[in-house]
Amino acid sequence: MNKNTPFIAVCVALLVGLVLPLATGASAPGFYVEVLLGGLMAGVLYSLVALGFALIFKASGVFNFAQGAMVLFAALAVARLAERMPLWAAILVGIVIMTLLAWFIERLVLRPLVNQDPIALFMATLGVTFFLDGFGQTVWGSDIYKIELGMTKEPVLVLQNLFQGGILVNGEDFVAAIVAAALVGGLALFFQYTPTGRALRAVADDHQAAQSIGIPLNRMWVIVWAVAGVVALVAGVIWGSKLGVQFSLSQVALKALPVVILGGFTSVTGAIVGGLIIGVGEKMAEVFLGPVLVKAFDLAGGGIENWFAYVLALVFLLVRPQGLFGEKHIDRV
Amino acid sequence: MSAMENDRAGRIGGQILAVEGVSLAFGGVKALSDVSFDVREHEVRAIIGPNGAGKSSMLNVINGVYHPQKGTIRYQGREYHHMDPHEVAVSGIARTFQSLALFKGMSVLDNIMTGRNLRMRSNILLQALRIGPALREENEHREVVERIIDFLEIQAYRKTPVGRLPYGLQKRVDLARALAMEPKILLLDEPMAGMNIEEKQDMCRFILDVNDEFGTTIVLIEHDMSVVMDISDRVVVLDYGRKIGDGTPDEVRGNQAVIDAYLGVSH
């Protein structure tokens, strides 16, 4: 038996699960596409948060538990600032704040801990998480705030001539997904084609060599944390406008964890693909697997969305620990 | 031949780097004890010695990776107690690595372009938009890099990820990346280690060409004596962290302490 067999089996199972509802006629094509689109839109947001994770992990080897807290902090900042100024200005100021935050984290947390064990750095980011959660409340308050993107939340019917009855699409979700996708694409281009992007990739590849050719590690860390901060801000604003800006945002952002396990910790592509898979997977499971469980086992059937991502991540840890696109790590003994 | 040697000798200038009384210990292990030597402009200076003699430690001290407990480093007339890797790179000292430290996932071209990073002036925003000065700057740096690629004869591998190249070529990319910094001093950590005889000859030729054409001062470490003797102007010999010989290859070859260190001696 090939050692990849279990992994391939899992992938095939996922694919079968994906097409089964359509193939068995359990779902009308229009409804199926609706669920698929809904999943993809949620998935883009997961990708966005996971991207922040992957960037920081790649460039500084730090497992940044604070990514979720950064999402919440950024969303709070934008929501409260927007009460006093137009939204675009609030977002700009938010970007400045997240950049400053990155600078402070590098100065006060990362630099003193350089060359420490990864677990020490991880604990430090745990500290940053709680600090940001609390400090966010201190500065911005702890109520539920709204971010108005000024778009209609009413779903619209589209493609009525292609599917019977058409499909319902939420316009705001749609725009959000496009913005997120553009951001992801822009970042990918930035990393591939600019000198700074090249330097960041170099740092991600080999710290010592990067230093010897004069790439300033500290500045690169500030840059990745700032980029991760901006990504968190975009995710926070989009999510905040959907769910309201509240504490639970930082929990939703934790979904990025299974996403990076699925995609591979060091892979930007992995973060994107992983986010989409989990977004689509959990929506499909909720909508189509739920009723099956109700029928077959007389269960209540709900809540699949809450655990699906984590169980899938667990399965991946068993069959392919490095994730879809991660580097296989072989230690010399 | 002798005319060429005279020509080389004539180009060698004044002292550019001096290591004075450097001692380095890791806990109780003494890696270097009171080592002093100097490097003159445009020369090829070798540091040799058996395994564990402290050669790499010496290079890491110059490079700023290790901070010596005692001694100073004089570089271009300024005195340092220790160097800092980034500062060293900025001040014009480049290095290659014994165990390759290339960016394996990146292409040959990208690897070498990172060597130009220090000289890039445009800010992130201009870079991201790829407009005006940033684009012109990128093209200028690309030209320099292309000259180095031609010089080291690696044109065919520009777009290949470095991890896929054979070892000898990876060594050449490592050299190319260091050259892209246009350094005043080039530190080479065992540039010929693990190479077959042909690759070694190629590498010797490249090192001498770099020295001749760019006027780069070269400090290299080797434990293979024969290679070093052919291309070096002066040689320092280390053994157990102490300097046991210093001079031209001929002088060093005749030095009894050096012969003992390499062949072993019965007491």
CATH number for B236 = 3.40.50.300
**CA distance to partner chain A, nearest, from residue B137 (Å):** 10
**Within a domain: A21:** no
pLDDT tens for B83-93 read 788 888 888 89
CA B84 to CA B64: how far, in whole Å? Answer: 5
**Within a domain: B83:** yes
CA A267 distance to own-chain centroid: 13
Q: Does A174 score more than 90 pLDDT?
A: no
Q: What is the ipTM of this complex?
A: 0.71
Query: In this structure, are residues A239 and A26 in contact, taking their beta carbons and an 8 Å threshold?
Result: no
- State which of B157, B180, B203 marks the end of a domain: B180
**Within a domain: B31:** yes
> Closest chain A residue to B99 measured between Cα atoms?
A209
Q: What is the mean pLDDT of residues A46-56?
A: 87
Same domain for B194 and B85: yes
Both tokens assigned to B16: 């550019």
Q: B127 and A216 in contact by Cβ < 8 A?
A: no
C-alpha dist (Å) from residue A202 to A58, A116, A140, A272: 10, 21, 38, 21
How many domains does one find in chain A?
1
Among the partner-chain residues B105, B138, B181, the one whose CB lies closest to the CB of A213 is B181
Same domain for B263 and B146: no
**Within a domain: A326:** no
Q: What is the mean pLDDT of residues A70-90?
A: 92
A96, A114, A213, A325: best to mutate for the B interface, most B CBs within 10 A? A213
Same domain for B166 and B59: no
**CA distance to partner chain A, nearest, from residue B6 (Å):** 34
Chain A contact for B118, CB < 8 A? yes
**Within a domain: A145:** yes
Q: pLDDT tier at A280 (50, 70, 90 boundaries)?
A: very high
**pLDDT of amino acid B149:** 92
**pLDDT of amino acid B266:** 62
Q: What is the mean pLDDT of residues A229-257?
A: 85
Same domain for B109 and B3: no
**pLDDT of amino acid B265:** 65
Per the structure, the complete domain to which residue A62 belongs is given by 30-255
Q: B132-151 and B167-179 helices cross at what angle (nearest 10)?
A: 130
CA B190 to CA B44: how far, in whole Å? Answer: 14
Q: What are phi and psi of B71, to 5 degrees?
A: 95, 170
Contacts of B177 in chain A (CB under 8 A): 213
- State which of B155, B180, B205 marks the end of a domain: B180
Q: B127 and A214 in contact by Cβ < 8 A?
A: no
**Within a domain: B98:** no
Same domain for B86 and B189: yes
Contacts of B106 in chain A (CB under 8 A): 198, 201-202, 205
Helix (H) or strand (E) holding B185: strand B185-189
Same domain for B218 and B244: yes
Per the structure, the complete domain to which residue B205 belongs is given by 1-92+183-267
Q: A205 and B106 in contact by Cβ < 8 A?
A: yes
Same domain for B88 and B7: yes
> Closest chain B residue to A193 measured between Cα atoms?
B128
Chain B contact for A208, CB < 8 A? yes
**CA distance to partner chain B, nearest, from residue A275 (Å):** 23
**pLDDT of amino acid B4:** 53
Among the partner-chain residues B86, B94, B114, the one whose CB lies closest to the CB of A202 is B114
> Closest chain B residue to A219 measured between Cα atoms?
B86
**Within a domain: B234:** yes
Same domain for B193 and B70: yes
**pLDDT of amino acid B260:** 83
> Closest chain B residue to A196 measured between Cα atoms?
B124
Which position has the higher pLDDT, A311 or A267? A311
> Closest chain B residue to A267 measured between Cα atoms?
B105
pLDDT tens for A103-149 read 999 899 888 887 778 888 889 999 999 999 899 889 988 888 888 87
Q: A195 and B113 in contact by Cβ < 8 A?
A: yes
Q: pLDDT tier at A333 (50, 70, 90 boundaries)?
A: very low
How many domains does one find in chain B?
2
Contacts of A215 in chain B (CB under 8 A): 86, 114, 117-118
Amino acid identity of residue B178, one-letter, is A
Q: Does A1 score more than 60 pLDDT?
A: no
Which position has the higher pLDDT, A22 or A279? A279
The neighbour count for residue B18, using CB atoms within 10 Å, is 16
Q: Does A331 score more than 90 pLDDT?
A: no
- Number of residue pairs across A and B with CB atoms under 8 Å? 83
Q: Does A222 score more than 70 pLDDT?
A: yes
> Closest chain A residue to B162 measured between Cα atoms?
A205
Q: A205 and B104 in contact by Cβ < 8 A?
A: yes
Mean pLDDT for chain A overall: 84
Q: pLDDT tier at A196 (50, 70, 90 boundaries)?
A: confident
CA B69 to CA A66: how far, in whole Å? Answer: 39
- Intervals of chain B under pLDDT 70: 1-9, 122, 125, 130-131, 264-267
**pLDDT of amino acid A153:** 65
Chain A contact for B163, CB < 8 A? no
**Within a domain: A175:** yes
- State which of B180, B201, B224 marks the end of a domain: B180
